[in-house]
């Protein structure tokens, strides 16, 4: 069965500093990995995904994530945080065996301080 861990409930970073939101996963087969962001009273918005290929994936709003197979991690990064990046971030995984559903992590709240 798949599982996702986001070890930090809350991440605080100063505006302009780099940010990292951590995600580790467990899945049978090869992983499909995703990051989503949720702003207050909104649905989840897709940021980026890893299916295969280059381990560094670039997504929306300047975010990127690095797939590390040996560490089973898929950390979300951004070189320079903006106050508007403050939101709830979810990592999700599914496997490449047909029919596997998404499993979402518990979420990490990112606060970017001006």
Partner 1 sequence: ETGVTQTPRHLVMGMTNKKSLKCEQHLGHNAMYWYKQSAKKPLELMFVYNFKEQTENNSVPSRFSPECPNSSHLFLHLHTLQPEDSALYLCASSQERGRGGEQFFGPGTRLTVL
Token duo for residue 66:
């690095």
Can you tell me which of 2, 19, 27, 32 binds partner 1, judged by CB under 8 A? 32
- Position among 25, 74, 89, 90 found at the interface with partner 1 (CB under 8 A): 90
Give the torsion sign (CA, 41, 42, 43, 49): negative
Q: Is 64 exposed, middle or buried (0-12, 13-18, 19+ CB in 10 A)?
A: middle
46 touches partner 1 (CB under 8 A): yes
Q: Tell whether residue 109 is a contact of partner 1 (CB under 8 A).
A: no
Chain positions contacting partner 1, by CB under 8 A:
32, 34, 36, 41-46, 49, 51, 90, 94, 96-102, 104-107
């Amino acid at each position: 069965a798949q599982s996702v861990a986001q070890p930090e409930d809350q991440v605080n970073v100063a505006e302009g500093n780099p940010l990292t939101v951590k995600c580790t996963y467990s899945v049978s087969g090869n992983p499909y990995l995703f990051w989503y962001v949720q702003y207050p009273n909104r649905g989840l918005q897709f940021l980026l995904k890893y299916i295969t290929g280059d381990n560094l994936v670039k997504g929306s709003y300047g975010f990127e994530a690095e797939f590390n197979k040996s560490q089973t991690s898929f950390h979300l990064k951004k070189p320079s945080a903006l106050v508007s990046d403050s939101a709830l971030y979810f990592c999700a995984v599914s496997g490449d065996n047909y029919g596997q559903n998404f499993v979402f992590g518990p979420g990490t709240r990112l606060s970017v301080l001006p």
